Structure 1
Amino acid sequence: MPFAFHYAARSDVGMVRSNNEDSGYAGPHLLAMADGMGGHAGGDVASSTVIGALVALDDEALSGREVSQALLDRIHAANGELGDQVRQDPRLDGMGTTLIALLRSRDKVVLAHIGDSRAFLVRDGEVTQITKDHSFVQNLVDEGRISQQDAQTHPQRSLVTRVLTGDDTDEPDLVVRQGKIGDRYLICSDGLSDYVARDTIDEVLVGVADPGECADRLVALALRAGAPDNVTVVVGDLVDLNRKGAPSTVPEVVGAAAARRGGGGTRPIPTTPAAKAAALTKAATGGGDDDLDDHVTLAEEGPRSRRTLVLRLAALLLVTGVVLAGGSYAAYAWSQQQYYVAASDGIVSVFRGVDQTLGPVALSHEEYATTIAVDDLPPSYQESLERGISASSRTDADARVSDLRLQAEACRYAKANGDTCQTVPSTWTPPTTTPSPSPSPTLSPSPSPSPSASSSPAAIAPGGTRTPVTPLPPTTQAPVTS
């Protein structure tokens, strides 16, 4: 029974990134996905180079043991090309890419895997992850130091231990699996698996029959979850080629491989493996001769059928949603650069954000609590804390806390001397020792000075020398305000 993949490939730059470093390919006999890394230094170059090197394998003429060796040889050749590119252009130093490739041969599927991208198999309604991450966090799980649940939120979950970098020691895992009509395979970048819950992914894989609709749904869920990373998914169902309504044999190329390919319009599929290899190899290296164009149709290309127009309308609505979500994210990001000082459980605290909520989402959180009791402050300051005292930065918030601490110390000092708590100038500093009565040159002589007038607090000057300052006025006089 002749097998083939009924497939779809989708990729999105994500909510934060400005460029797509993922590359994906889906064809009748080959599914492949690479997640590039190295930032602007060349993650897109790495992923598109590797995917371009594998395209020639999308050929049903391959069979038997030669399939596994052919796949491994192509990966090694692509990895060698990455090393050559780094040696030719030192700016690409540090680039690398994960890779998952599924190559069908008769009723077998050869799986090659390196990095933390993931592959899943749906068989008889059950979803199984068929790859293990090559990552620091996965090593912790294997050693029993953290649980699989802890790994999902670990701050170092993005640290990979094995990827293709151009080094001779880079080696993927290679396994051969028995295929079965009705099997569904998903390969994806961590832009999906890190931001969409596993049970949600499973639900979509089992519940959405068409590979294209399934891929669209998964990407949309990742964007709805606010995925900042690139999101790439490739879905392939093993089908019988003899059945009626056999799937298309036009490959789909997405992500960096498609972007570097250039050009536009619908083109015929290459008729030979050599033509396919030349097409994407030229794309990966930036070639642009129209007479030697790659002849590979992108996922978004093709005749505009009614279904295509509906999908385009849905895509437009999705883009609108993404724009709105992006605006919301930008507003949230701005809010997290703001600070304010307010009361929390009777204590003065500094909050980061703005004192508002957006639906169930609070736009602020407590940065730190001080030791200043609200009751120790003058009434006017207590009222300001009830409303929240805005600060333009953390430094500004710290300065306002310093002033509040000064006011609280002044109040405690005044109460200890039987005076009324009142606002004092911000330059006033309370004494560090018990003051002794002494005449003050700034007060008018009086036969019976009040207790507050007979005390002369001292402030610490910048050089550490104590210098006299004007004491607080008697309570019978008008209060001094800052």
Structure 2
Amino acid sequence: MPFAFNYAARSDVGMVRSENQDSGYAGPRLLAMADGMGGHAGGDIASSVVIGALADLDGEALGSAEASRALLQRITSANDELADMVKSDPSLNGMGTTLIAILRSHNKLVLAHIGDSRAFLARDGQLTQITKDHSFVQTLVDEGRITADEAVGHPQRSLVTRVLTGQADDEPDITVREARMGDRYMIASDGLTDYVAPDTIADVVTAGDPPGPTAQRLVDLALKAGAPDNVTIVIGDVVDLTKVEAPPTQPQVVGAASTRSKGTRAIPVTPAAKAAALAREAAGDDDEVVLAEEGPSGPGRWWRRVAVLALVLVVLGGGSYAAYDWTQGQYFVGSDGGKVAIYQGVSQDLGPVALSHVEEPSDIAVTDLPDFYRAQVESTIAKDTLRDAQALVAELRIEASRCAVSRATGGTCSSDATPLPSTSTTTTPSGTTTPSGTTTTTTAPSGTPSTTP
């Protein structure tokens, strides 16, 4: 039975903040959310770097054991990148981010978690939190010093004990779960969970509405409750591909990762990768893994090279016409002279032979797109049909228009826009005075609290 995610992501800056430090991602195989800390000088960068490092896993077709290794490797690499950025720019010292990522591999889901953002599972009408906060208050609950109810309004509930800050011991929890048809997974930043009652959240998530309206409803409730913090929701429903008329295929990127270029990397989607992914899905998953329900758990890309090599051998071996004819049934969106264009064919060339041509040009300037989408267009985005490519171009036109309006009103849309600085100050628990809306992350041995928004 072919599994897939029906997904959506929504984000809002909140009622007080002047910048969004959250980053969210929802795609066919990957759901992820990062809540950055460190103010506009670092929080948005940290969350963008981490989400950007994970994004191209959405284009992979990995077995469960491979997926666990790949996810941990990408998180470790992103954390190392944060460390390098702090070394090269001391003004970023103190930045960090929480992270929850769910990577689908057939009927298995690999979940990575660090910080106090939360993941939930809705099953059989019940909503259950499936992550445990890495926070000072959670430690008090675990030790029996306070109750779960007392933790909700505790004055030190924002102190986290584990986040990604670039330190060598910043390691997430990795577990593997079994997906069931009809399951709904939700990832939320504390902009929701700190300000909307658990029963209310559960009622909305289990109401049966599609992911998009559900995520938007939760954001609206957080804003109605006066949430001063950024609010980000990512939802993925586990569905049967054969029973869903038109599941989404275009990733949804929200928050800081959709407006910054630093660390936001394009998703490679090629015909060869698609073919390999279909083959892997059909073959099933034989990896030996331990599910989270049973106990604790843990990228190969050789198949891409094999698929490309197979195409080359077919062309060179005498089946050139058939191979070329296949390529002309493919479409992708890319850049042509600085404008978004739909190409017929595949984005690779075979020596001097071009395997694509512009099918439909457009008047959308690539430079008018948000950085994330611009990077994708520049690296090309494959589509199954011309109609799918046309629909994507329509979406990109909307994004370009949104950016134009944002720039005209002084807002942020791309890397050439500078976030507004905060002007007032506040005192953190450590006694360090920082701009309002920022937090100070104290680098200390594992278990020592740091502050998150």
TM-score norm. by structure 1 comes to 0.57
Question: Does the Cα contact within 8 Å between 1:60 and 1:105 map onto a contact in 2?
Answer: no
Distance in 1 separating the partners of 2:187 and 2:211? 12
**Misfit runs of 4+, over 6 Å:** 283-291
Partner of 2:159, secondary structure, is coil
Structure 1, unmatched stretches of 5+, are 276-282, 313-482
**Structure 1 residues 111, 287: CA separation in 2 closer, same or farther (over 3 Å shift)?**
closer
Letter in 2 for 1:35: D
Supply the distance in 2 between the matched residues of 1:230 and 1:294 (Cα, whole angstroms): 31
The size of the alignment, in residue pairs, is 292
SS in 2 for 1:242: helix
C-alpha separation in 2, matches of 1:288 and 1:250 = 14
Matches within 5 A, 1:54-453: 54-59=54-59, 61-261=61-261, 270-271=269-270, 292=378, 303=394
User: Match of 1:378?
Assistant: none
Distance 2:106 2:33 in 1: 22
Counterpart of 1:12?
12
State how far apart, in whole Å, the 1-side matches of 2:243 and 2:202 are: 27
Matched, 1:23 2:23: yes
2: distance between equivalents of 1:57 and 1:253?
14
What is the Cα deviation at residue 44 of structure 1?
Answer: 0.3
The 2-side partners of 1:132 and 1:113 are apart by: 9
Contact 1:251–1:269 under 8 Å retained in 2:
no
Distance 1:88 1:153, change over 3 A: same
* Contact in 1 for aligned 2:8/2:215 (Cα 8 Å): yes
Cα offset, 1:244, TM superposition: 4.1
Letter in 2 for 1:43: G
Percent identity over the alignment?
A: 64
3-state DSSP class of the match of 2:80?
helix
User: 2:101·2:113 contact (CA, 8 Å) conserved in 1?
Assistant: yes
Q: Structure 2 unaligned runs (5+)? A: 275-300, 305-368, 383-387, 403-453
Cα offset for 1:30?
Answer: 0.3
State the alpha-carbon separation in 1 of the partners of residues 58 and 376 from structure 2.
23
Counterparts of 1:176 and 1:226 in 2: how far apart (Å)?
Answer: 36
Note if contact 2:259-2:370 (Cα within 8 Å) is conserved in structure 1: no
Give the distance between the partners of 1:19 and 1:226, measured in 2 at CA.
Answer: 16
Give how far 1:303 is off: 4.4
Tell me if the contact between 2:259 and 2:371 (Cα under 8 Å) persists in the aligned partners: no
Residue identity opposite 2:163 in structure 1: V
Letter in 2 for 1:96: G
Q: Residue 242 of structure 1: CA displacement?
A: 1.5
Q: Is the 8 A contact 1:120 1:185 kept in 2?
A: yes
How far apart are 1:56 and its partner, in Å? 1.2
Q: Alpha carbon RMSD of aligned pairs, Å?
A: 3.0
Secondary structure in 1 matching 2:245: coil
Q: Which amino acid aligns with 2:259?
A: A
Deviation sequence 1:32-87 (CA, Å, 0-9, x none):
00000001220000000000000111135211311101111110001000001000
> Which structure exhibits the higher relative contact order, with contacts defined as CA atoms closer than 8 Å and separated by 6 or more residues?
2
Q: Helix, strand or coil: the match of 2:160?
A: coil
What is the rounded CA distance, in whole Å, between the counterparts of 1:149 and 1:82 in structure 2? 35
- Which residue matches 1:405? none
Alpha-carbon distance in 2 for matches of 1:6, 1:113: 21
CA contact (8 A) 1:45 1:284 kept: no
After TM superposition, give the deviation of residue 293 of structure 1 in Å.
6.2
Q: What TM-score, normalized to structure 2?
A: 0.60
Aligned residue identity for 1:200: T
Letter in 1 for 2:130: I
Deviation at 1:208, TM superposition (A): 3.7
Secondary structure at the counterpart of residue 157 of structure 1: coil
SS of match in other structure, 1:40: coil
Q: How far off is 1:12 after superposition?
A: 0.2
Aligned 8 A contact 2:259 2:372 in 1 = no
Which residue number in structure 2 is paired with residue 455 of structure 1? Answer: none
| Structure 1 residues 290 and 34, CA gap change in structure 2 (3 angstroms) | closer
Superposition deviation, residue 241 in structure 1: 1.1
User: Measured at CA, do residues 7 and 206 of structure 1 come closer, stay the same or move farther in structure 2, by a change above 3 Å?
Assistant: same
Question: Would you say the 8 A contact 2:7–2:211 is kept in 1?
Answer: yes
Q: Which moved more, 1:204-213 or 1:60-69?
A: 60-69
What SS does the corresponding residue of 1:9 show, helix, strand or coil?
strand
| C-alpha displacement of 1:26 | 0.2
Alpha carbons of structure 1 residues 65 and 288: separation in structure 2 relative to 1, 3 Å: closer
Contact 1:136 1:156 in 2 (8 A): yes
- Secondary structure of the residue that 2:64 maps to in structure 1? coil
Aligned position for 2:34: 34
Q: Deviations over 1:256-297 (max 9, x none)?
A: 0001149xxxx998435999xxxxxxx999997797368699
1:224 Cα shift? 0.2
The separation in 2 between residues aligned to 1:47 and 1:170, in whole angstroms, is 15
Determine the C-alpha separation between the residues in 1 that align with 2:27 and 2:7: 7
Q: Is the 8 A contact 1:13 1:19 kept in 2?
A: yes
